[in-house]
Amino acid sequence: MSIISKDISRAIELLKANKVVAIPTETVYGLAGNIYSKEAINSIFTTKKRPFFNPLIVHIPSASDLENIASYVPEKAKLLAKAFWPGSLTMVLKKQTTIPDLITAGKDTVAVRVPNHSLTLKLLDKLPFPLAAPSANPFGSISPTKPEHVENYFKNEIEMVLDGGACTNGIESTIVGFENDEPIIYRLGALALEDIEAVVGKVIIKNKKEQSPDAPGMLERHYAPTTRTYLTSNVVEEIKKHSGKRIGLLIFKDGFKDANVTTQIILSSTGNMTEAASKLYDAMHELDRENLDVIIAERFPDIELGKSINDRLQRATFSS
């Protein structure tokens, strides 16, 4: 029997009972629980097999709820919230003392956002508490952008996936922290660097940290298929290296005709970065099911969302 359901009242009931429910957002599906419930948060970490040193993102229904989560909000954070919430922006801010250390990995900061998904905003509005919701996948695996992805991962471990359809943005939120009140990008994501800089000026990127990461998504190896995957700027040369193997290609816009290629997925035939980002993880799931020997991913132009897509591919692959 499927655990996928559109029944929001059932999701509310489970979350109030300190259970974990997978919820949709515009970025990826999240494994959600009451931030004030030790039982629920422990369940998120154990279900995902996520290390406790990796902090979680708190999801709130509106920017007006931020004062319950953050003790201090810099002026540039207020500008970003006004410009991009609800949306694919997470901000790391000084936390209120009421936010449990389990959520923040013992840090004095908390990651928070207002997701841009009508069903989840309705859910959050009906709950008396915010939700922690890291991506609904086993730690390090490909993130889920469809309810079926979550069910395939956790059908025997959680009771419900709230069905909000396919995620429109398809990669995780961009995470911005603040050092001396100046914005720093801790994780590239579905909100382009250029869009952020249009609001607050030049922003530094500091998006890798293995030990005690400042935010989720900073670990070197992440978002990875089980099939050995390579990232390259020269697809033709990479295909030659794997002659005789079952090869899958993950391509931006122009397909390749090569007898060595078993299957290929083109993310956007029109070269649209937004479309490519929205399809990225679903394509990785699809190729990972094809019993291939290798997947070859094409490096994207390093502009706009291409930076974020390359970031995900670099963490999921072996660079070539």
| Cβ-count burial 22-42 (b if 16+ within 10 Å, e if not) | bbbbbbbbbbbbbbbbeebbe
Tokens of 150: 């979550």
What is the chain's mean pLDDT, rounded? Answer: 94
Is 268 found in the same domain as 190? no
pLDDT of 73 above 70: yes
Q: What is the band of 268 on the pLDDT scale with cuts at 50, 70, 90?
A: very high
Per-residue pLDDT, 215: 59
The model carries a pTM of 0.92
Q: Does any domain span residue 128?
A: yes
Q: Where are the beta strands (DSSP E) in the chain?
A: 4-5, 21-23, 30-34, 57-59, 70-72, 89-95, 109-113, 131-132, 161-162, 174-179, 182-187, 204-205, 229-232, 247-251, 261-266, 294-298, 318-319
Q: Which of 287, 293, 295, 302 is nearest to 320 (CA)?
A: 295
Is 270 found in the same domain as 165? no
Q: What is the band of 185 on the pLDDT scale with cuts at 50, 70, 90?
A: very high
Is 162 found in the same domain as 45? yes
CATH number at residue 47: 3.90.870.10
Beta strand pairing status for 247-251 and 261-266? parallel
Per-residue pLDDT, 22: 98
| Count: domains in the chain | 2
Tokens of 94: 């000084």
Lowest mean pLDDT among 57-71, 97-111, 208-222: 208-222
Tokens of 9: 């009242």
Q: Averaged over 94-108, what is the pLDDT?
A: 96
Q: Does any domain span residue 288?
A: yes
Is 34 found in the same domain as 129? yes
Beta strand pairing status for 30-34 and 131-132? antiparallel
Q: Does any domain span residue 198?
A: yes
Is 171 found in the same domain as 33? yes
Q: Does any domain span residue 220?
A: no
The predicted-structure confidence for 194-237, as pLDDT tens digits, reads as follows 999 999 999 999 866 555 556 565 555 567 899 999 999 999 99
Q: Does any domain span residue 296?
A: yes
Is 159 found in the same domain as 82? yes
Q: Averaged over 167-191, what is the pLDDT?
A: 95
Q: Is the dihedral of CA 95, 99, 100, 104 positive or negative?
A: negative
Is 48 found in the same domain as 137? yes
Q: To the nearest whole percent, how much of the chain has pLDDT over 90?
A: 88
Q: Does any domain span residue 210?
A: no
CATH number at residue 284: 3.40.50.11030
Q: Does any domain span residue 219?
A: no
Tokens of 99: 């936010």
Select from 152, 172, 205 the last residue of a domain: 205
The predicted-structure confidence for 293-320, as pLDDT tens digits, reads as follows 999 999 999 999 999 999 999 988 866 5
Per-residue pLDDT, 90: 98
Residue 180 belongs to domain spanning = 4-205
Is 169 found in the same domain as 92? yes
Other beta carbons within 10 Å of 16: 14
Per-residue pLDDT, 216: 62
Is 309 found in the same domain as 160? no
Is 56 found in the same domain as 194? yes
Is 173 found in the same domain as 48? yes
At which residue do the structure tokens 């069905």 appear? 163
